[in-house]
Amino acid sequence: MKIAVVGGKGGTGKTIIATNLACTFSRRKEKTLIADLDVDNPCVLNTIKCIKTTLVREEQVLRLKPRIDSSKCNLCGRCIQVCPEHALALIPDKGVILIETLCGGCGCCVLVCDQGAIVENYVPEAIVRYYSTEFFDVLVGELVPGYRRSYVIITKIVEGYRDFFNKYDVVVIDSPPGTGAGVFSILKNSDKVVVVTEPTPVGISDFVKLLKLLEKKFNNKKTIVVINKSTLNESLTKKIEDMCNRNSLPYVKIPYSETIVYSYVKGIPLTIYEKTDREVMEVFYSIVEKLTGK
């Protein structure tokens, strides 16, 4: 079972909830992987600093970066015409140049150049690291600094690692914030969705956007809402609850708790921290029960 943990905005507590769900599943003896696909800013490892992690494997995700050999180029312009990203340009005195930040690595230019003037060249665009811990395994995808196509990397990982994910009973995917193409790709490749929101005006506005995406593209299926820090603003929490009820979405509330802040700062998952409030612990077991039906 693949579970996407999504949240409209950063700072809602999405990663903490993803980590603690992974912990809860592993305590139920289910073989669990947490996949950190917030590739611009992965921070799952920060939330489990107290757990010993062992790096098992590291892989590069490569992308095509065409190299232009101007000595072979006859300036026919075919590559410029076919480039879907407008990443090639003809500059007087320089010939054809590549605007690297626009190139999506599709390879069309290599195919159309009959002079052999565009050569295939691969560079790392992201690193995928795989760790083991005593509780669950961790996969972290991280963009190489300077690259911006996070959705391409996220899609490559969720689709390219499908067989690897299938070796686990449960894969909890920590998604990037927002409703962008990367989140869409994760939702498309997941069985269940946990939407994390909070009772703030921005939290509600982003929650509405996520609900629209889920309803329009995924028919609201398999979704559970977590209202984090619910005691911070009772009236906005009530507003979120009303929205959930109108959309027939199950929800749980996690009260604001000093324990959660402490566990975040110290990198101790709540579900293994002995001082965690019983009420908070029960929320995680209740989410898991709602996800699994048992």
> Does position 109 bind ligand SF4 by CB under 6 A?
yes
CB of 67 to ligand SF4, least distance (A): 10
CB of 152 to ligand SF4, least distance (A): 11
> Does position 194 bind ligand SF4 by CB under 6 A?
no
Nearest C-alpha neighbor of 17 from the set 280, 293, 292: 280
Cα–Cα distances (Å) from 113 to 102, 108, 183, in that order, read 19, 9, 35
Q: Which stretch binds ligand SF4 (CB under 6 A): 63-71, 138-146, 190-198, 200-208?
A: 63-71
Nearer to ligand SF4, 105 or 178 (CB): 105
Q: Which stretch binds ligand SF4 (CB under 6 A): 7-15, 113-121, 152-160, 206-214?
A: 113-121
Q: What letters, b where the CB count within 10 A reaches 16 and e where it falls short, cover 212-246? A: ebbeeebeeebbbbbbbbbeebeebbeebbebbee
CB of 140 to ligand SF4, least distance (A): 27
Q: Is 139 helix (H, G, I), strand (E, B) or coil?
A: strand
**Residue 67 carries which side chain, given as an amino acid letter?**
R
Nearer to ligand SF4, 106 or 232 (CB): 106
Please select the residue that binds ligand SF4; options are 108, 171, 173, 252, rule is CB under 6 A: 108
Which 68-107 positions form the footprint of ligand SF4 (CB under 6 A)?
68, 73-79, 83, 85, 87-88, 96, 98, 103-107
Cα–Cα distances (Å) from 139 to 70, 135, 223, 280, in that order, read 41, 13, 23, 26
| First-last CA distance in the chain | 14
184: its two tokens = 């869409």
Binding site for ligand SF4 (CB under 6 A): 64, 66, 68, 73-79, 83, 85, 87-88, 96, 98, 103-109, 112-113, 115, 117-118
